[in-house]
Amino acid sequence: ATSLCVLDGDGPLVALVVNQATGVATTAVRGEGARRDGEPIAPGKVERVEDAVVTLSGRPGQWLPWKQFRALGSAALNLCDVASGALDGLVDGGAWHAPWDYLGGLLICREAGAEVVDAAGRELVVADPDVRRQILAAGTPALLEDLRAALPNPGQPV
């Protein structure tokens, strides 16, 4: 994938994530929504983990009864799939994603209406290349809360 995100004083401004295998481009501009190949996108409405298709990055602390799971590899592409409803959620098994891995997908999720957080509650919008974060994302707040149970120490910072 190619993932680009422009930051200004207010955070992420413009994002472009391109799946190099398929040529599909997902974009967002702060306050203007998110698009995939020019068409508006929105996340899915799944609220229960039992109904969710999630993507994993690393091994979760707890296996949940999700409907299905995938391990696809690119945080940026995974976030774009959550934003578009192709996936219901994302669970990182550890804090290893750098800002360039997720900032483009973060803006795309926010503009589409999906939820994205750091598992330990830390700020995601950072420019320091040495920072690492553990990402949780979901199409709905209810599913995001359900996915927290997959963390190594649910409810506690990691």
Nearest one of 30, 106, 19, 124 to 90, comparing CA atoms: 106
127: pLDDT confidence band, cut at 50, 70 and 90? very high
DSSP H/E element including 119? none
For 30, phi then psi, to 5°, come to -50, 125
pLDDT at 158: 38
Among 24, 23, 4, smallest CA distance to 14 is for: 4
In three-state secondary structure terms, 45 is: coil
Q: Is the pLDDT of residue 152 over 90?
A: no
Instruction: State the average pLDDT for the chain.
Output: 94
Show the tokens assigned to 26.
């997902």
Q: Is the pLDDT of residue 155 over 80?
A: no
pLDDT exceeds cutoff 70 at 154: no
Return d(Cα 23, Cα 10) in angstroms, integer: 30
Angstrom distance (rounded) from CA 86 to CA 11: 26
Residue 29 has pLDDT above 60, yes or no: yes
Going by pLDDT thresholds of 50, 70 and 90, the confidence category of residue 72 is: confident
- Backbone phi, psi, residue 88, to 5°: -90, -30
pLDDT at 125 over 50: yes
Q: Cα separation of 147 and 115, whole Å?
A: 12
| DSSP helix/strand/coil, 82 | helix
What confidence category does residue 157 fall into, taking pLDDT thresholds of 50, 70 and 90? very low
